[in-house]
Structures are given as C-alpha cells and as structure tokens.
Amino acid sequence: MPELPEVEVVRAGLEPAVSGAIITGVEVLDQRALKRHDPIRGDFAALLTGSRLSGAVRRGKYLWFPVAEGPAAGDVLAAHLGMSGQMLLREPGRDDKLTRIRLSLEHPEHGELWLNFVDQRLFGGMMIDSLVPTPDALPAGFGGAFEPGALIPRTAAHIARDPLDPHFDDRAFFAGLARRRTGIKRALLDQTLISGIGNIYADEALWAARLHYDRESAGIPQTRRRDLLEQVRGVLRRALVEGGTSFDAQYVNVNGNSGYFAHSLNAYGQQGKACPRCGGEIVRESFMNRGSHFCPRCQRAR
DNA sequence: AGAAAATCCTGCCGGC
DNA sequence: TGCCGGCAGGATTTTC
C-alpha cells in the first residue's frame, strides 16, 4: 500500500516531469476517481487544461501540484493514491490498464508525456483544491526543489506533519500518545497525530520497538515513546532508500518499477515465519479491519 | 468528545 | 477450464 516512502518515490519521480509543464489535455475515464473534487468550483478537465504546474509537494501520503498559470492558477491539483493508486509517466499513446484519469503534459525541455493515474480499487483520486495557511505557519511539506511556503490544500490541512518533516513536532506527538486511551497501532495510523504511516510500516515500527499493536498508548513510558518514534523514522528512511515496498505488485514508481523493501520486512506478511530477532513465530491477527503482524514472544501485550 | 465500527471499492487469486 | 467467494486496507462517515 502506498505509504510515506512509496508516495515520496512517486513525488520525486514526478517532480522533474511536472515542474514547468503545461497540461494540454485531460481525460477523465472514470468519474469516480474525482470523488473528492467539488464540481461547484468547475469542471475538473476545464480547470486543468492550459494550466502550468510548478512543482510536486508531499505531506505524509498527500500529494499536490501547485498551479502557476492558467484557469486554476493559485490553486493546486491534489492527489491521493489511496490503496492502489499509481501515477505512471508514459510516452504519449502508451496506455495502462485501469487508467482512471489521463493528463497530457507538455514540458519545455522534456517534450510531451502522458501522466496516467491508475487505480484498481478507486480509494484514491484527484481534485482541484485551494490553499489555506498551515496551522503552524511553517512550510506545508516537502517539495524537493520547489519551496511550498506556508500554504496547504484545504483537504490536507487537518493532517499532522510526517515524521521525516524537519518541522514535525515530537513533543506534540508524545503528548498525543499520552492522551490516547486506545491501542498504540491505532494511534500510529491516526493521520491527525502523525502522518505517512500505514499498515505495513506501523507493523514494522512496532516490531522494531518491541511493542504489541494493541498495547494502550497512554501507558507506554516516555523512553519507549521516544524509541518508537526513532524506529518509525528508521523504518521509513530505510524503505525510502530501497524505493518503497512492493507487495503483490500493488505499488510501483512512476516508471512502473517495483521497490525492494519487501525483502527487508521483519513482520508484515511474515506470518508463519521465524522472528528475525528471537526465532519465535510471527503471527497475523485481524485488528481494525486489517491484518496485524507481530511476534508474540518479543512483542508482549503487557 | 473520544473511540470504535461501518462504509466504500474491484481486480486478482486460490480452491474446487 | 471456468466460476466464485474471499481478500487487500486507505480515509471518511456514522454510531456509540
């Protein structure tokens, strides 16, 4: 599933292609991929056609592309990959199965490209959104060469910074954990507390921190909270270096290639295998409508 | 108000 | 060979 490392790989791959490019054509092949777009602001294709994009910005799993010129100038093209979304850069004429939205790009240096938004399960989507000030008045997210400034898409404004953001508030995160009387994994998956973590990296970070997924968040000592955040950052950084996790050929980068972090997983999807740390058997339990993978021997409930 | 459950969505895969 | 039930889990909405 696309989580922070996968979305960052996509953002970095798109950055050189979209920065300075003009959208010359928009084809919405499945309207459901626009489910977050407010039609009152105007037709998606009409707003976007003729627009020049200035960069690619990410916070957590949210992506957006500021519009510098054209009908949507001052607003952004926002995208979320959901469960199975992909953004593929292709030679014009090269279609992909399950393409829901296609953007034709004209870049002053790189020429013409297709950007195919592919999404099997339709949990992801694109929209035109407006910018609002960030609650903390600090830069909105990570944009590579593009400096986003203190403006964030309205629909992403409620999301916390991600743990690789230099402005991430460690203390607010620890305070949030101390306040929550719920399982620690629920807290890690709460994008308003910490963004960018999904099921894979939650399980991996909890394994690394030797914490059971359903241990009460508020009862975890401060030293272990610190360690958990450290493990979260370590897992996300390592996955990013490996190009993300490709599981069941679900996630690919903008060229359609897989990431390699699946080979480095210690807990997620490893049920039945030996825990790499203690040799116990990794088990999978159903929790929050999803699988939780952990080692019952070195991740005790209490 | 905070926590938990319900909801959306469909291609793929294993089993028969 | 072909059908079909089950599976995957992001974020939002609804319920408790």
Instruction: Specify if A302 maps to a domain.
Output: no
- Write the CA distances from A260 to A70, A237, A263, integer angstroms: 39, 13, 6
Q: Which of residues 181-210 of A touch strand C (CB under 7 A)?
A: 189, 191, 198-200
CATH number for the domain that contains residue A24:
3.20.190.10
A122 and A228 inside one domain: no
Is any atom of strand C within 7 angstroms of residue A289's beta carbon?
Answer: yes
Instruction: Give the span between the Cα atoms of A185 and A294, in whole angstroms.
Output: 12
Residue A162's nearest CA partner among A117, A195, A133 is A195
Last residue of a domain, one of A122, A156, A190: A156
Supply the pLDDT for residue A248.
Answer: 58
User: Could you tell me the two tokens for A50?
Assistant: 């003729």
Question: How far apart are the C-alpha atoms of A168 and A194, rounded to whole Å?
Answer: 9
> Are A186 and A145 part of one and the same domain?
no
In a domain, A161, yes or no: no
Q: What is the number of structural domains in chain A?
A: 2
Asked if strand C contacts A121 at the CB level, meaning under 7 A, the answer is yes
Does residue A144 share a domain with residue A78?
Answer: yes
The pLDDT, as a whole number, for residue A301 is 82
Rounded to whole angstroms, the distance from the CA of residue A85 to the C1' of nucleotide B16 is 32
Profile chain A (302 residues) by mean pLDDT over runs of 10 residues. 94 97 97 88 95 98 97 97 94 94 96 96 95 96 97 96 97 96 95 96 96 95 97 96 76 84 91 95 90 94 76
At A53 the three-state DSSP class reads: strand
Structure tokens at A247: 């599981």
> Measured in angstroms, what separates residue A89's CA from nucleotide C9's C1'?
26
CA A157 to chain centroid? 15
Range of the domain at A254: 170-294
Does A79 lie in the same domain as A198? Answer: no
Q: Which of A99, A132, A156 is the last residue of a domain?
A: A156
Strand C within 7 A of A85 CB: no
Cβ atoms A169, A161 nearer than 8 A:
yes
CB A161 within 8 A of CB A130: no
Could you tell me if A192 and A113 lie in one domain? Answer: no
Rounded to whole angstroms, the Cα distance separating A100 from A50 reads: 20
Kindly report the bases of strand B lying within 7 A of a protein C-beta atom: 2-13
Residues 140-159 of A with CB under 7 A from strand C: 155
| CATH, residue A251 | 1.10.8.50
Report pLDDT for A250. Answer: 64
Please indicate, yes or no, if residue A67 is contained in any of the structural domains: yes
Where is the domain boundary, A131, A156, A181? A156
Same domain for A254 and A142:
no
Q: How far apart are CA A141 and CA A64, in angstroms?
A: 10
Q: Are A141 and A184 within one domain?
A: no
**Per-residue three-class SS string for A70-94:** CCCCCCEEEEECCCCEEEEEECCCC
pLDDT at residue A249, as a whole number: 56
Tell me: do A49 and A176 sit in the same domain: no
Q: Supply the pLDDT for residue A247.
A: 66
A281 occurs within a structural domain: yes
A177 and A149 within one domain? no
Q: How far is CA A8 from CA A4, A38, A174, A217, A302, in A?
A: 6, 26, 25, 28, 35
On whether both A130 and A10 belong to a single domain, the answer is yes
The verdict on residue A50 lying in a domain is yes
**Which nucleotide comes closest to A84 if you measure CA to C1'?**
C10
